[in-house]
Amino acid sequence: MISSLTTTTTQQTQHLHGESPPGDDITILNAEEAFLPPLFDLHRRFPRLRIVLEHCTTAAAVEAVKACGPNVVGTITPHHMLITIDNWANDPFNYCKPVAKLPADRLALITTAASGNPKFFLGTDSAPHALSAKRGGGDGMGKCAAGVFTQPYATQLVLDAFEGAVEKGILKSEALSRDVLTGFLGEFGRKFYGEPASKRKIRITAGQDRIMEALKFGKDEEKIVPFRRKEPVYTLEWI
Amino acid sequence: MISSLTTTTTQQTQHLHGESPPGDDITILNAEEAFLPPLFDLHRRFPRLRIVLEHCTTAAAVEAVKACGPNVVGTITPHHMLITIDNWANDPFNYCKPVAKLPADRLALITTAASGNPKFFLGTDSAPHALSAKRGGGDGMGKCAAGVFTQPYATQLVLDAFEGAVEKGILKSEALSRDVLTGFLGEFGRKFYGEPASKRKIRITAGQDRIMEALKFGKDEEKIVPFRRKEPVYTLEWI
């Protein structure tokens, strides 16, 4: 089963898109959970292999990463911290693989990202698909490409997710310390990959910014529609 | 909660789109199951009220209808007998509300439709949305209209679903008697609504027919894309 997965190896680290292939009882909804037994097996057989379970979308995946040793970590995307199945069902610009799951899963991702556990850090999985690919190709009758485009707004979207959880009483704002935020947004990942700590800083301010409606590219009228287009967003500056 | 539902009353019969409104723990995946306690409550309080739970999509809904008295029946669509969540996630022409659920749910719909239980009969819920509405409106950036267009092929699609289940060993072909087929496809419904039995007949043959690619309508280049466009389909004739 492992051999059929999308994997990337960097610096002796295995990056896994952890979903089992479709089958009689495997759907896009439980494909990630179905992959957890093979993940445990892989980790048991190769305990020194460094594994990144990319874009965790379920409470089960988060718990699995926690249950493994320090060589197994997980990334979490901004969009999976913000949406559930209801958001992508009728909206291709929220549709990605693995698909966003249930409210309890989203909650688990947010609380894990806010926990300061260095086994979890941001991985955007941002995918700049063309509008036409999102809309079924030239005749509009094909399938929808999977992926959401968040890259310019990744940090701000994570903060939005945290803020929403604070407003709902799910997180306490004092839990979101500078160490927790910088750890999840970058330092936990840098440490795992053996990179030195970043010396650059960002400043986030609440202003009048909105997410762009679309990003033009290439020839013709092709464009990329970002996640949460036109919605208010924090302003981010490198300082 | 009942007052917020989509309902239609005909001949003292209440037709319910049985999904609870979205909420913290209610998604499009469990909205139908969440509606079953209100359904039981309605039936308990008004046992003589004739209720049609339209377009059942889950094993739970089927079991709920069975558990109620004879005044509560359920309809099943052809498309819910053929698809699951994986089929609509990236394909707007398979996207409808209630959404198609999991393989076990699809199986329950097929076996129920083939059981000869007069509490269940075909209801197509066919919805001829324009291609543009399926593709997010004029700029292609809006949401996808919910509904699939099956009407010209409803009978043939049901037979396809049955045939697939026979091929997989889930149904025995001898279970699909003329009474079972005519009952599910029409007579159980006519009886429930107090209509006389139909005197018209159809003939189904295996030929070279394929489902149309698109149905043109209105002005401009507007069209409707049917469910399973261009796929082989039985030929149906009224005789």
- Per-residue pLDDT for chain B (239 aa), expressed as one digit of tens each? 343 445 565 558 999 999 999 988 999 999 999 999 999 999 999 999 999 999 999 999 999 999 999 999 999 999 999 999 999 999 999 999 999 999 999 999 999 999 999 999 999 999 999 999 999 888 889 999 999 999 999 999 999 999 999 999 999 999 999 999 999 999 999 999 999 999 999 999 999 999 999 999 877 778 999 999 999 999 999 99
**CA–CA gap between residue A180 and residue A115 (Å, rounded):** 7
Which whole-number Å values give the CA distances from B165 to A26, A74, A180, B183, in the listed order? 18, 40, 53, 19
Residue B27 has its nearest CB partner, among A22, A84, A134, at: A84
Report the residue of A33, A57, A90 to disrupt the B interface, i.e. the one with the largest count of B CBs within 10 Å. A90
Q: φ and ψ at A76, to 5 degrees? A: -130, 135
Shortest distance, CA A85 to any CA of chain B (angstroms): 7
Residue B143 has its nearest CB partner, among A25, A28, A91, at: A91
Shortest distance, CA A11 to any CA of chain B (angstroms): 34
Which structure tokens are listed for B180? 């079972």
Has the ipTM of the complex gone over 0.90? yes
Chain A contact set for B25 (CB, 8 A): 103-104
Chain A contact set for B229 (CB, 8 A): 141
Cβ neighbourhood burial of A187 (10 Å; 0-12, 13-18, 19+): middle
Shortest distance, CA B93 to any CA of chain A (angstroms): 8
**CA–CA gap between residue A79 and residue A67 (Å, rounded):** 24
Nearest to B178 by CA among B151, B201, B207: B201
- Exposure of B194 in the CB half-sphere (CA atoms within 13 A): 6
In B, minimum Cα distance to A91 occurs at B143
